[in-house]
Structure 1
Amino acid sequence: MRRLADIIDASRVKGILMDIFAKAAELGAANIPFALATIVASSGSTPRGKAKMIVLADGSSFGTVGGGIVEAKVIDEAKKAIDFDRPIMLDYALDHGPGERSLDMECGGSMQVYVEVFGAKARLVIAGGGHVGLAIARLASSVGFRLVIVDDRPGYVTPERFPMATELYVRESMDEALAAVPMDKRSCVVIATHASDERALRSFVLRDCAYLGFLGSRRKVRVLLDKARAEGVPDAQLDRVRAPIGLDLGAETPEEIAVSVVAEIMAAIAGRDAAPLSGRDGELVILRGGGELGTGCALRLRAAGFRVVILEREKPTARDRAFAFCEAAYEGEARVEGLVARKAECLTEARTLLAEGIIPLLIDPDCGFVAALAPYALVDATNAKSNDCLRRGMAPALIALGPGFEAGGDVDAIVETQLGHNLGRVLLSGSASTDSGTHEACSGDSGRARSIAGGLLEALLLLKGRVKR
């Protein structure tokens, strides 16, 4: 028979879990994003062996995974996970050890904690309750958006007409109705008013949101944007306005327009380009850096079925230029192991090269083309040992090779590049080993040629070319 203490302990754990699940259901109903941290494995002496904890974006928590240093670390990582809507596996050794996974704790055991994110449903604000606004609301509700309707016409915006909406803002004037709408960076906005597009654009263009577009003819769009620019609205804010709104589907009816608009919004918040899936060889990966490291990655990615675009500096460098795709920046084209990389002057040319099975190389050191290309993943292979422009959220997966980055901080993951037993290890938290600054001779390395004086090098033969004695 089970001991009474075991039965009481099991009952207590069950009660705590039920409280956690009830809290999760409450947060979900209120559309509040949260993270659920679960101890999935533990060994040795640890504060808790099995436990769950809910963490909110502000760092407040419900439940516990053991308290102290380990819980503080989990809460900090959970906040980052919520911010970027990415799950993460945490691995800690509670042993005062020197390793990056070690924490300053006396327990001596180890814990693995999986942090899962439950994001709030995207909020779609529709300014205008007319026929098109209603069609958009019906379709958006069916794919999971929380609907907010704004108008100054009480007869159009009613609970009976918009039963799918969670918030209705109807005021005597459109300005009052627009001002009453709360916004956050996850909100999406569609402007489709009867006669208030200009006021709606002025209200939303300077507010932080994930998507902003308005319905109208190209002439109307141009007139309103030019007027906003003349009033001092920065170009950076106007450039993010999508207008005319929607994908080019040949839509005519309100229902057809709704399909084109909702499809564009879904693609925008997912970071996709909304291009047809047919004719694609695989997901697109952008490689930042076409040196030896980037070239090796490109070869493996192509072999795995991915499409690849390389972003480079205007004058890239490489030790073995004959075996690096960055050479295309100088020669216009580079060939390595049967694959061809070709310099592209614009996005249109890059997309044409992709369709031909060629790796496009774009001169774009600041990653300005990333948003337009909407890659599945962005990989930094520059080996620069510092982060100059990358931030999580630029692509669904942001991966760095080598030191200078923080996994779970400015990137999603890091691949260790330092020679040793950790070479190739994927880090989901922490940083890669720093470069020792010394060169260790490898098998077959007969030494390196060094200049005896300053000056210009004139290449008489291609590097790695064959010569006769």
Structure 2
Amino acid sequence: MRILIRGAGDLATGIAYRLYKCGFEIIMTETKVPLTVRRTIAFSRAVYEGNAEVEHVTAKLTDGPEQIDDRIKKGYIPLLVDPGLKYLKEYKADVVVDAILAKKNLGTTIDAAEFVIGVGPGFTAGKDCHVVVETMRGHNLGKVIHEGCAIPNTGIPAEIGGYSIERIIRASADGLYEPVVKIGDHVEKDQIVAYSGGKSVRALMSGIVRGMLQPGVNVTIGMKCGDIDARCEEEYCYTISDKARAIGGGVLEAIMEHFNGEKHIL
């Protein structure tokens, strides 16, 4: 079975990893300039690095649909720059998973494949997708929703290690983003961690840098550009998160439930 995943950020990567390990053929799509903050655990960086390895699984930038079969045969996850799904028919996907996490639907329709899954807010099960998977941390994280929508985005970052708003690094001005620390570095509160539009960006708390945009990206003031983790576990910077694994489990559950009864779903 072939599964197309829209988006290749850290949560989409967790989904792709779990499905790949279960034997499904995975294709992923991204934008020309990915804005993934936790990029060390995201396949999206293959767009500008060519390859991206996460926990011994590799995504490889792919120029067009004609290269997909070869990539899959060699054990890679093909990743294409195709945000508008220009090549949707050529992908020949049995399942489409929209994991862009834009908090709104950016064009996925319920007829995009036999089975369509919307991840997070912005989708309505039965309208623009068959099921929705919950992404809000808490009791229902990873739940498969057959009617209605996921919990709306609150705009408030989830608490991790006792911190919420403080752990987010945001652009201080419009312009080019230039980090001066890297993922895995330990920083102190008020330390300069980057410049945006030539203006300094300071940490609001002490901890380890878990996420940071790549250099040279155009940002706007207030835009999320990084993430600090008070737990200071370096391993968390390079391995799939508990949240991503839970959401990946929800997607896997939805697929298995839908195709239950068929002799060969892989």
Distance 1:328 1:316 in 2: 10
In the other structure, the counterpart of 2:132 is 414
Q: Aligned to 1:457, which of 164, 177, 186?
A: 177
Query: In the alignment, residue 286 of structure 1 is paired with which amino acid?
Result: L
Q: Is the 8 A contact 2:121 2:149 kept in 1?
A: yes
Distance 1:406 1:459, change over 3 A: same
Distance 2:23 2:74 in 1: 14
Query: In the alignment, residue 411 of structure 1 is paired with which amino acid?
Result: C
- Give the superposition deviation at 1:420: 2.1
CA deviations over 1:28-50 (Å, ceiling 9, x no partner): xxxxxxxxxxxxxxxxxxxxxxx
- Give the superposition deviation at 1:449: 3.6
- Give the superposition deviation at 1:442: 1.3
In the other structure, the counterpart of 1:306 is 24
Distance 1:449 1:384, change over 3 A: closer
Distance 1:407 1:395 in 2: 14
Distance 1:346 1:418 in 2: 34
CA deviations over 1:341-367 (Å, ceiling 9, x no partner): 111011112221111010110111111
Give the 5 Å matches for 1:259-408: 283-408=1-126
Query: In the alignment, residue 127 of structure 2 is paired with which amino acid?
Result: G
In the other structure, the counterpart of 1:128 is none
Distance 2:63 2:186 in 1: 33
Distance 1:450 1:367, change over 3 A: closer
TM (normalized to structure 1)? 0.37
Give the 5 Å matches for 1:245-256: none
Q: Which segments of 5 or more consecutive residues in structure 2 lack a partner in the other structure? A: 188-266
The alignment status of 1:440 with 2:178, answered yes or no, reads no
CA deviations over 1:210-267 (Å, ceiling 9, x no partner): xxxxxxxxxxxxxxxxxxxxxxxxxxxxxxxxxxxxxxxxxxxxxxxxxxxxxxxxxx
- Give the superposition deviation at 1:447: 2.6
The alignment status of 1:426 with 2:114, answered yes or no, reads no
Q: Is the 8 A contact 2:58 2:77 kept in 1?
A: yes
Is the partner of 2:176 in helix, strand or coil? coil
Larger RCO (CA under 8 A, 6+ residues apart) = 2
Is the partner of 2:153 in helix, strand or coil? coil
Distance 2:162 2:88 in 1: 39
Distance 1:465 1:371, change over 3 A: farther
How many matched pairs?
Answer: 185
Is the partner of 2:167 in helix, strand or coil? coil
- Give the superposition deviation at 1:388: 2.6
Distance 1:400 1:331 in 2: 28
Query: In the alignment, residue 116 of structure 2 is paired with which amino acid?
Result: L
Q: Is the 8 A contact 1:350 1:362 kept in 2?
A: no
In the other structure, the counterpart of 1:259 is none
- Give the superposition deviation at 1:431: 1.0
- Give the superposition deviation at 1:326: 0.4
Q: Is the 8 A contact 2:137 2:158 kept in 1?
A: no
Distance 1:343 1:466, change over 3 A: farther
Larger Rg: 1
Distance 1:442 1:342, change over 3 A: same
RMSD of equivalent CA atoms? 2.1
Distance 2:185 2:67 in 1: 31
Query: In the alignment, residue 168 of structure 2 is paired with which amino acid?
Result: R
- Give the superposition deviation at 1:337: 0.6
Is the partner of 1:348 in helix, strand or coil? helix
Distance 1:312 1:447 in 2: 26
Name the one with the larger strand percent. Answer: 2
Q: Which segments of 5 or more consecutive residues in structure 1 lack a partner in the other structure? A: 1-282
Distance 1:455 1:387, change over 3 A: closer
Distance 1:422 1:358 in 2: 32
Distance 1:398 1:362 in 2: 19
- Give the superposition deviation at 1:452: 4.7
Distance 2:68 2:162 in 1: 38
